[in-house]
Amino acid sequence: MSARPPSLRLGVLVSGTGSTLQALDGAVREGRLRAEISLVASDRQDCPAVQHARDAGLAVFTFSPKEGPPGSWETALSRRLEEERVDLVVLAGFLRVLHDPFLVRWKGRVINTHPSLLPKHGGPGMYGLRVHQAVLEAREKETGATIHVVTADLDRGPVLAQANLAVRAGETPQELSVRLKPVEHELLLRFLASVVDGHVALPLSDREPDPPSP
Ligand code: GRF
């Protein structure tokens, strides 16, 4: 019997170190995630995430948002994602804000992973160690990771999945970041598996579900 073909085509957008991309790529290669990374796209020509993608032989598309008319990078990106017949776009440490018409075209098909329990510690400027710094300054006992739908409202799209992690006394933002990464990766992989298995349908709703009626 031949192996079932990958059922989910992913576009992964990156700007940084790429540990999320590596976790995804590893899971795909090991057969733990029945998906394909059809395109890795980045606003950086040569960040470690892009380097990993090239080394791994993945299709890579880089662009320069400062060149060309405003928004032209999003048009070009959208076209490349379409060419690769991408089903779902994963923001994996992508540091650009996406706008309409990109978000209209990919409505319900863009997700982000954020290293806190949104709506806490999200929004403009909240990325990387700043998030963990804010968690520690707020003396949170618990933090975690959130997978959410990307909408025009930064870090405010509907929450799809969350995982919790207890904050340890005296730990630094760096230590918290290191402990949270595997939790976040596992959460993302579990969410994507639920899409592959058909438990979660695409496109995702970009609106919060109505509260249960009394
Ligand atoms: C992750 O912590 C994710 O929550 C955030 O950016 C980070 C990406 O890290 N959106 P990496 O580049 O995948 O290592």
Residue 79: the pLDDT is 98
**% pLDDT > 90, the chain:** 92
Q: State whether the beta carbon of 92 lies less than 6 angstroms from ligand 1.
A: yes
- How many whole angstroms separate alpha carbon 32 and alpha carbon 66? 38
Residue 141, sorted as left (phi over 0), alpha (psi -120 to 50) or beta, turns out to be: alpha
Which residue's CA is the closest to the ligand 1 atom numbered 7?
Answer: 93
pLDDT digits (tens, 9 = 90+) for 12-69: 999 999 999 999 999 999 999 999 999 999 999 999 999 999 999 999 999 999 999 9
Q: Among the options 52, 99, 114, 132, which is catalytic?
A: 114
Residue 212: the pLDDT is 76
Number of separate helices (H) and strands (E) present in the chain: 6, 7
DSSP code string of 61-82 = EE--TTSSSTTHHHHHHHHHHH
pLDDT digits (tens, 9 = 90+) for 62-120: 999 999 999 999 999 999 999 999 999 999 999 999 999 999 999 999 999 999 999 99
Residue 209 has pLDDT above 90, yes or no: no
pLDDT digits (tens, 9 = 90+) for 127-146: 999 999 999 999 999 999 99
- What's the 182 CA to ligand 1 centre distance in angstroms? 11
Rounded (5°) CA angle 158-160-162: 115
114 is catalytic: yes
- What's the 210 CA to ligand 1 centre distance in angstroms? 30
Choosing from 50, 113, 183 the residue with most ligand 1 atoms within 8 A of its CB, the one to mutate for a pocket test is 113
- How many whole angstroms separate alpha carbon 141 and alpha carbon 171? 12
Q: State whether the beta carbon of 18 lies less than 6 angstroms from ligand 1.
A: yes
What φ, ψ does residue 149 adopt, rounded to 5°? -75, 140
Bond from prior residue into 119 cis (ω within 30 degrees of 0): yes
DSSP code of residue 72: H
Q: State whether the beta carbon of 17 lies less than 6 angstroms from ligand 1.
A: yes
What is the pLDDT confidence band of residue 3, given thresholds at 50, 70 and 90?
low
Residue 156, sorted as left (phi over 0), alpha (psi -120 to 50) or beta, turns out to be: alpha
Which residue's CA is the closest to the ligand 1 atom numbered 14?
Answer: 19
